[in-house]
Amino acid sequence: MKKILTILFIFISCLGFSQQKKIKFDADLQFADEEKYPGATVLIGKVKMIHAGAILTSKKAFYYKEDNFFKAIGDVVINQGDTIKQYSDYVDYDADTKKTISWGDVILKDPTMTLTTDTLYFNRASQLLFYKDHAVIKDETNVLKSKFGNYYLEQKKFVATTKVTITNPDNLIESNHLDYYTNSGHAFLYGPSTITNQKDNNKIYSERGFYNTKTDISHFVKNAKLYLDERTIEGDSLYYDKIRGFASATNNIKVIDTAENFMAKGNYAEYFQKKDSIFMIKKAVAISVVENDSTFIHGDTLLVTGKKNARKIRSYYNVKFFKLDLQGKCDSLFSDQSKGITKMYVDPILWSDKSQITGDSIKLLSNQETNKLDSLKILGNSFIIQKDSIDPENFNQIKGRNMYGKFIDNELRTLLVKGNGEAVNFNRNEEGVLETVTKQYCSNIEFELLNSEINQIKCLNMSDGKTYPPSLFPENDRRIKGFVWRETEQPKTKEDIFNKKSTKSKKGKVLLNSKKNTFNRN
C-alpha cells in the first residue's frame, strides 16, 4: 500500500511539473515550414503565450517544441501576475529555465519603478533582472542610471555598478557601486562616492555608507568628508541630516575652515549648520593659523560658534594652549574673534618666553587688523616669575594687584603693576656676575623686558625697599608670598597640550563642584 501511494505521489508531482513546464499558445495563424524554419511552429497575428503565471503577447513568434523555447517578435508584452509588465521589440524565452532575453526599446514596470534599457535579462525562477549595457530606472523620487545592474524583484533592490548616478531635484549621487531600494529610497554606497546638493553645491564624499534619498539623512563609515561652503568636516564615521542642518562625526575628525585658516580636531563632534557651531570632545583641539604661526587650544570640551570674523571659541576643563612664543593653561578659556579678546579663568597661567605669569584671571587682546597680540591684562593676584639665567635657585619676581602688559611683534616688552607692587630682582653685570639683590615695595611698578628677560624695574611712587649684597640677602625674602614655580606644567610642544599629568587646581575643583559656569561672565 505504501509503495502504491509513493508511486502515485511521484506521478502527480511529475504531472504537475510537466504542466508547469508546458507552454500554451495561440495566434490568428499557425503553421510549420521545416525547410525555412526547421523545428519551429510559426505564429502570426495576436500571438499569446502562457507559461507558469506569465502571459506574453506579440505580433509574431516561433515556438520550438523540442527545446521548449519561444521567440517573440514585434510589440512584445510580458505580464507576470499583477506586478510586472514589460515591453520590447524582441524576446527569447526558455521555458525550461524560465529565463528571458529582451531587446529593442525595453521598458519594464513594477509598482515601484520603471526600467528602460536596450537589452534586459530576466530569470523568472530567481526573480532577478539584470542588464549589461546601461539602463535608466525611475521611481517616485529618483532617476538611477548605471552601466551594469541587477534588480531583485522581491526585495525591490538594485545592485548598480559602473558609472552609477541617482538624481532628483535636490541631489546628485555619483558612485561606481551602490545598492538602491526602490520602495524605500535607501541607497547603500560602496567605493568612492559623492552626493552633491544641486541647490547649494554642498557635497558629501565617502567610500562606504548609507543615504536616504527621501529624508536627506546619511551615515558614512569610511573616509567621509562633508563640504559645506568654505567648511569641510572629515571623520572615520559621519552622520548628516541635511534638513536639520546637523552633522555628527567620530574618530579622526577634522573641521576645516579654509577661508579663515582655522581647524578643529577631535574624536567626537557635533556640527549645527544653521548656527554655524561645533561641539567637540575626546582630544579636542582648535588650531588657528596667522602668518604661518599656529595656535593650538585643547580642552576636555571645545565649542566653536559663529561665522567668520565673529567666531567665538569656548574650551573648558583642563585647558591648555600652545604657540611657539606663548603657552597657557587654565580651567576655562573664552575667545571672541570679533573683539580680539581671549579670557582665561580659574587658576590661569601663561608662559611667554622666559616669563611665568599668573593671576585670578588673564585677558589677551589682539590687534584685529594684524591678528597679532597687542596687550595683556592680569587681574587679581598678578604674579610674574623668571628663573635667573645662571643660578636656577634664584628667581626674579614681580607681584601686584593687577598687571597690564604690551606686546610688540608678538613679544612681551613692557608691564605695569597697579596696586600693592612687590619685587625681587637679582642684578647681574654684563659679564653675568651677580652683584646685588633688590627687594622693594611700591604701589605701582613699571618694568621692561629685553631679550625676554626683566631688564629694568621702575617704581612710579615712593618705594620701601633695599638692595643687598648677595651674601647678605635674607633667605626669607628670596620668595615673595604666593610664589609657585610651575615649569613642569608648561606645554613645550603642541603634543604636550594633551598631557593630563597635571590636574586642575583646588580652585578649579571648587568652582566645578558648585556647578557654576565660568562663561556666564562673558
Task: Show the cell assigned to 244.
Answer: 536639520
Alpha-carbon span 43 to 49, nearest angstrom: 10
- Which of 105, 132, 166 corresponds to the end of one domain? 105
Which residue has cell 580659574? 346
Closest CA to 62 of 74, 73, 75, 76: 73
* 354-395 tens-digit pLDDT: 889 999 999 999 887 777 888 999 999 999 999 988 888 899
Q: pLDDT value at position 460?
A: 75
Q: Please tell me the predicted confidence (pLDDT) of residue 250.
A: 93
Residue 466 lies in a domain: yes
Locate cell 539602463: which residue?
Answer: 135
Q: Which residue has the cell 503565471?
A: 53
Is 238 in contact with 247 (CB distance < 8 Å)? yes
124 occurs within a structural domain: no
pLDDT of 208 reads 96
pLDDT of residue 21: 63
- Per-residue pLDDT at 490: 93
Measured distance CA(414)–CA(488) in Å, rounded: 26
| Cell reading at 130 | 539584470
Region 424-428: mean pLDDT is 88
- What mean pLDDT comes out for the span 419-432? 87
By CB atoms closer than 10 A (0-12, 13-18, 19+), residue 478 is: middle
Task: Say if 142 falls within a structural domain.
Answer: no
Q: Do 41 and 65 form a contact (C-beta atoms < 8 A)?
A: yes
> How buried is 264 (Cβ within 10 angstroms: 0-12 exposed, 13-18 middle, 19+ buried)?
buried
Number of domains in the chain: 2
At 111-154, the pLDDT tens digits run 889 999 999 999 999 999 999 999 999 998 899 999 999 999 98
Q: What is the DSSP letter of 103?
A: E
CATH value at residue 356: 2.60.450.10
pLDDT 10s digits, 293-340: 788 999 999 998 887 677 889 998 999 999 988 899 999 999 998 888
Q: Are the CB atoms for 428 and 434 separated by under 8 Å?
A: yes
Residue 506, pLDDT > 80, answer no
Residue 436 lies in a domain: yes
Listed range (86-90, 294-298, 449-453) with the worst mean pLDDT = 449-453
Rounded to the nearest 10°, the torsion over CA 515, 519, 520, 522 is 170
Confidence of residue 289 (pLDDT cuts 50, 70, 90): confident
- Residue finishing a domain among 87, 105, 123: 105
Q: What is the mean pLDDT of residues 247-275?
A: 89
Within 10 A of 369 (CB to CB), how many other CB atoms are there?
A: 7
- Over the stretch 2-48, which tens digit does the pLDDT of each residue have? 444 443 343 334 334 344 467 899 999 999 998 899 999 999 999 99
Identity of residue 341: I
Report yes or no on 234 lying in a domain. no
Residue 206: band (very low, low, confident or very high) from pLDDT cuts 50, 70, 90? very high
Higher pLDDT, 82 or 54: 54
Reduced to 3 states (helix: H, G, I; strand: E, B; else coil), residue 53 is coil
Question: Using alpha carbons only, what angle is made at residue 412 by residues 411 and 418, rounded to the nearest 5 degrees?
Answer: 165
Residue 368: domain span: 339-493
For the chain, the 3-state helix, strand and coil shares in percent, each to the nearest 5, are: 10, 60, 30
Report yes or no on 49 lying in a domain: yes
pTM to 2 decimal places = 0.77
What confidence tier does 258 reach under pLDDT thresholds 50, 70, 90?
A: confident
Residue 310 lies in a domain: no
Calpha distance 272→164 (Å, rounded): 31
pLDDT range class, residue 414, cuts 50, 70, 90: confident
Share of the chain above pLDDT 90, in %: 57
58 vs 411 pLDDT, higher one = 58
Range in 217-226, 406-415, 484-493, 505-514 with the lowest mean pLDDT: 505-514
Q: How many CB atoms lie within 10 A of CB 463?
A: 18
Average of per-residue pLDDT values in the chain = 86
pLDDT at 270 over 90: yes
Task: Determine the pLDDT at residue 431.
Answer: 85
User: What is the DSSP secondary-structure string of 219-253?
Assistant: EEEESEEEEETTEEEEESEEEEETTTTEEEEEEEE
Chain centroid offset of residue 399 CA: 46
Tell me, yes or no, whether 33 lies in a domain: yes
Tell me what pLDDT residue 408 has. Answer: 83
Any idea what the Cα angle at residue 357 is, between residues 351 and 359, rounded to 5°? Answer: 135
Read off the pLDDT of each residue in 211-231 and give the average, rounded to a whole number. Answer: 91
Cβ neighbours of 313 (radius 10 Å): 22
* pLDDT of 242 over the 70 cut: yes
